[in-house]
A and B are shown apart, each in its own frame.
Chain A
Amino acid sequence: MKLKLTLTAEEQERVSKLLNKELAELNKKLALAQLANIQRRVSQGLGLDGKMKPYSKSYSKIKKEAGRRVNVRNLEFTGRMLSDMGISEIDDGVYVIHFLTAQQRLKALSNQMREAWFGITDEERNMLMKLAKKEVEK
Chain B
Amino acid sequence: MSHLDSLLKKYATVLPNVQKILFDYLKSKRDPVTKLLPPISSNELLTVLNSAGLQQIQDPELLHELYTSSVSSVLNEVASLTDLNISLISPETVKLSVEGTQVQMASISQRALSNIGSIVQESALIPMSLNTMAEKLKTETNVMLGQAKTLVNTGLAQVQRKSLVSQAQEDSLFLYEGANDSATRPFCKAIVGKVFTKKQIAKLNNKQGLGVLLNGGGYNCRHRWLPVSKEYVKSNGLVLASETDVLKANSEATR
Residues of chain A whose beta carbon lies under 8 Å from any beta carbon of chain B: 25, 28-29, 32-33, 35-36, 39-40, 43, 55-56, 58-59, 62, 66-69, 74, 76-80, 82-88, 90, 96, 98-103, 105-107, 109-114, 116, 127, 130-131, 134-135
Contacts and interface: CB of A to CB of B under 8 A. Distances in A.
Contact of B231 (A25, A90, A96, A135): A135
A1 B98 CA distance: 55
Interface residues on B, range: 35 or more
Interface in B144-196: 153, 156-157, 159-161, 163-164, 167-169, 172, 175, 177-183
A107 B231 CA distance: 32
A110 B97 contact: no
Contacts of B68: 106-107, 110
B143 interface: no
Nearest to B41: A114
B167 A76 contact: no
A49 B40 CA distance: 16
Contacts, number: 171
Contacts of A36: 175, 177, 226, 228, 232
For the complex of A and B, list the 10 residue pairs with the smallest distance between their C-beta atoms, beginning with the closest. Answer: A79-B222, A67-B183, A56-B61, A59-B61, A67-B182, A102-B127, A110-B68, A103-B127, A101-B123, A83-B160
A96 B98 CA distance: 15
Interface of B: 3, 39-42, 59-62, 64-65, 67-68, 71-72, 75, 86-90, 93-94, 96-98, 120, 123-130, 153, 156-157, 159-161, 163-164, 167-169, 172, 175, 177-183, 221-224, 226-229, 231-232, 235-236
Contact of B167 (A87, A102, A112, A130): A87
A68 B3 CA distance: 13
Contacts of A59: 59, 61-62, 65
Given A36-B175, A36-B228, A67-B181, A103 B123 contact: yes
A56 B60 contact: yes
